[in-house]
Structure 1
Amino acid sequence: MSIEQYGWNQSWSSKWSQIESNNNEDKGLVPGRIVGDFGSKFRVMTEAGEIWGELAGKLRFELSHSGGYPAIGDWVALTLLDAGDHAIVHCVVPRHSVISRQAAGNVTAEQIIAANVDTLFLVSALNDDYNVRRMERYLIMAWNSGASPVILLTKADLCLDSERKIAEMERVAPGVAVHAVSALEDNGRDSLMPYIGKGQTVALTGSSGCGKSTLVNWLCGKPVQRTQDVREGDSRGRHTTTHRELFVMPAGGIIVDTPGMRELQLWNDDGGLDLAFGDIILLASGCRFSDCRHEQEEGCAVLEAVRTGELEEKRILNYRRTQRELLYQSVKEEKAKRKNVSQSKVTASRSGRKGWRKEIEEL
């Protein structure tokens, strides 16, 4: 396969020209796209075929302080080793979209789920996995990423009132397309194909057991991903997909499967909160006070909409909770940045002292 089949186009060629012009040393750089993310190593598609890649030591050091490690979907600049089956990654070509979240654990760090995605399928199954409030969080992540969100309600064959749930999702996601599909009954495929045209990249995200891997197999027309049943008691899934992987579809589209999320901690906000809760922002324009917090202020148009039933109370509660969460996250990010800058200065100072001592010894 050629890299054009993996999305390489004139736009990426222009960015690559800039990479080459900035490269002062002749390293024989070639472009490649990360098609498999296995943690410390990657599978990369190049014109020479699919090979293993790992980070150059200099790049690994730089990223240990700044974050932004290469991710599935990234285009990277690399050098092929003599054997031809391995490569060294030297830099990431500037991205046009980044889907990320706060990494699990106590460390404040960004975890990139996928890069250079055109459309993000937000997947929720029409069983006990169905959760409107969780979808609101996924929408914030999607709007912040630069990719276009589309909501997919899977396992429609298990639901007797899918039309009602479609309408419910459309109310909380105005302007976002919502599709109910069933891979088991081969129903709804045609409605998804316009998003997966030749050279277009689509990623799937959602909780474990929502049917992402089944969707990938269904859309690709063959079993490229392993699947397993969910637990009958609570419809919760097992982590069938353990790493991120990119596939080229028969029609030329590109699809990225990702491991299921037990929870979604938002990384930051670049306008996604207002887009995901656009109805509340529109109502807020009618509040008496411009700094209204929509809690107990007089003349609050949002609270009036809740009182009359125009706005669901759970939605405004989730908006407030998410707003507080993002504010707290931004404070943590700022502290982490200051800490990284401080550590970088210490490292640079130590490196400088070592160089000075070496010069003295050589004298």
Structure 2
Amino acid sequence: MHLSTMGWDNFFEEQKQALKKVNGRIARVTGLQKNHVRIHDGEEEVVVKARGRIVRGHGKNTLFPVPGDYVIEKGGVVTRVFARKNQLVRGAAGRRGKLDAAPKAKQVIASNIDTVFIVCGLDRDYNLRRIERYLTLIYNSNMTPVVILNKADLHEDSEPFKAEVEEIALGVPVHLISSIDGDGVEALEPYVTEGKTICLMGSSGAGKSSLVNAIVGEEIRIVGEVSDFDGKGMHTTTTRDMIFLESGGMIIDNPGIREISLSDEEGGVDDTFPDITELAAGCRFNDCTHQHEPECNVMAAVESGELAADRLINYLKMRLELTFVSSRESKTADRIEKERWRDVAKFQKDAKTRT
């Protein structure tokens, strides 16, 4: 195995060539362990240290290594993180469903991803509105989603579930599988070819670890039981790890996500709800909120049954959440700028006093 089979391509090669000298070895991050990271250079996997912030280039941009990153390591320490093609980002957990408690930080889950598998169990985990939130998060991160409906063996006919998801995940591949008996797993092979990186997302108990085991063909991930009381699974996966497949592909397994907080707006909502965007073009007002305006084409579609009311509600909820996040970040930036000029004014005043 070498870097080219681990996803290294011209995007990263150009960055390497721009360096006057590569002072250390290039490797890919395969996992996190508190303040340490696991890296693989194509020949061996080792654990090295990571400082709180890693300087990239000569500017002020800093990155902390995450699974999927390409880095330069020297003397057991990561000294540089290469610029990322993309990064899977969500708002840090802790909102507890309150809009006014929107996350104050962004959490980068993984980077340099080719496809994100949204893993949803066909039990109590099945939730169309949650899938819409996953899709928005993934589109905001400039990544390609695929929906995996696991535990198809729980139903005599699981096709209706697939049809429902296809209606709300327009243009997104949807696969029915059973990790227990392996049905449908072979359809995932085209996504995990040599040099391709897959990232798994889903709730605890959705079957991400069992899916990894089914793809690999052996038990390499611990699989937990799902509670009969609330249908929730335990966090059997507690770290983000990159798993290398015989096909040459790579899978980044993640702990279950119970709170899908959106971090910012990069067009993800429009990509998730293209039907609403199209309907909105027929509204009387360009700034229609689709709630109370006259001649609203979107509300008319709900009344006629063309558009599900729950889908519109989820759309409006995410729009509101992203607007709030954007507004908060803007206010924070303004506050930082005011504090900066306050410090400048203080410095000038002190300088006059000294003279």
Tell me the TM-score normalised to structure 2 length: 0.88
Question: Where does residue 244 of structure 1 map in the other structure?
Answer: 240
Among 278, 287, 292, the residue aligned to 1:291: 287
Instruction: Provide closer, same or farther for how the CA distance between residues 336 and 246 of structure 1 changes in structure 2, counting only shifts above 3 A.
Output: farther
Does the aligned pair in 2 maintain the 1:247–1:254 contact within 8 Å?
Answer: yes
Instruction: Provide closer, same or farther for how the CA distance between residues 344 and 61 of structure 1 changes in structure 2, counting only shifts above 3 A.
Output: farther
Among 200, 211, 220, the residue aligned to 1:204: 200
Secondary structure of 1:53's counterpart equals strand
Instruction: Provide closer, same or farther for how the CA distance between residues 320 and 2 of structure 1 changes in structure 2, counting only shifts above 3 A.
Output: same
Question: Where does residue 350 of structure 2 map in the other structure?
Answer: none
For the residues of structure 1 that align with 2:342 and 2:160, how far apart are their CA atoms? 59
Does structure 1 residue 43 correspond to structure 2 residue 38? yes
AA at the equivalent of 1:148: T
Question: Where does residue 134 of structure 1 map in the other structure?
Answer: 130
Aligned CA-pair RMSD: 2.5
For the residues of structure 2 that align with 1:338 and 1:152, how far apart are their CA atoms? 42
Superposed counterparts of 1:69-88, under 5 Å: 69-79=64-74, 81=75, 87-88=76-77
Runs of 5+ consecutive residues of structure 1 not aligned to the other structure: 82-86, 349-363
The CA deviation at 1:147 is 1.4
Does structure 1 residue 4 correspond to structure 2 residue 8? no
For the residues of structure 2 that align with 1:60 and 1:232, how far apart are their CA atoms? 48
Question: Where does residue 92 of structure 1 map in the other structure?
Answer: 81
The CA deviation at 1:127 is 0.3
Question: Where does residue 29 of structure 1 map in the other structure?
Answer: 24
> Aligned pair count?
336
Instruction: Provide closer, same or farther for how the CA distance between residues 178 and 347 of structure 1 changes in structure 2, counting only shifts above 3 A.
Output: farther
Runs of 5+ consecutive residues of structure 2 not aligned to the other structure: 95-100, 345-355
Does structure 1 residue 302 correspond to structure 2 residue 293? no
Instruction: Provide closer, same or farther for how the CA distance between residues 339 and 160 of structure 1 changes in structure 2, counting only shifts above 3 A.
Output: farther
Superposed counterparts of 1:55-204, under 5 Å: 55-56=50-51, 59=54, 68-79=63-74, 81=75, 87-105=76-94, 108-204=104-200
For the residues of structure 2 that align with 1:345 and 1:189, how far apart are their CA atoms? 58
Does the aligned pair in 2 maintain the 1:97–1:118 contact within 8 Å?
Answer: no
For the residues of structure 2 that align with 1:161 and 1:325, how far apart are their CA atoms? 36
Does the aligned pair in 1 maintain the 2:23–2:72 contact within 8 Å?
Answer: no
Q: Any idea what the Cα deviations from partners look like across 1:217-255, whole Å, max 9, x if unmatched?
A: 111112221111111222210001101000111111111
Does the aligned pair in 2 maintain the 1:99–1:112 contact within 8 Å?
Answer: yes
For the residues of structure 1 that align with 2:247 and 2:83, how far apart are their CA atoms? 27
Does the aligned pair in 2 maintain the 1:68–1:112 contact within 8 Å?
Answer: no
Question: Where does residue 361 of structure 1 map in the other structure?
Answer: none
Superposed counterparts of 1:302-321, under 5 Å: 302-321=298-317
Q: Structure 1 residues 220-229 or 121-130, which shifts more? A: 220-229
AA at the equivalent of 1:305: A
Does the aligned pair in 1 maintain the 2:28–2:41 contact within 8 Å?
Answer: yes
AA at the equivalent of 2:67: I
Q: Structure 1 residues 307-316 or 159-168, which shifts more? A: 159-168
Q: Structure 1 residues 42-51 or 139-148, which shifts more? A: 42-51
Secondary structure of 1:326's counterpart equals helix
Among 272, 276, 284, the residue aligned to 1:276: 272
Secondary structure of 1:307's counterpart equals helix
AA at the equivalent of 2:31: G
Does the aligned pair in 2 maintain the 1:96–1:146 contact within 8 Å?
Answer: no
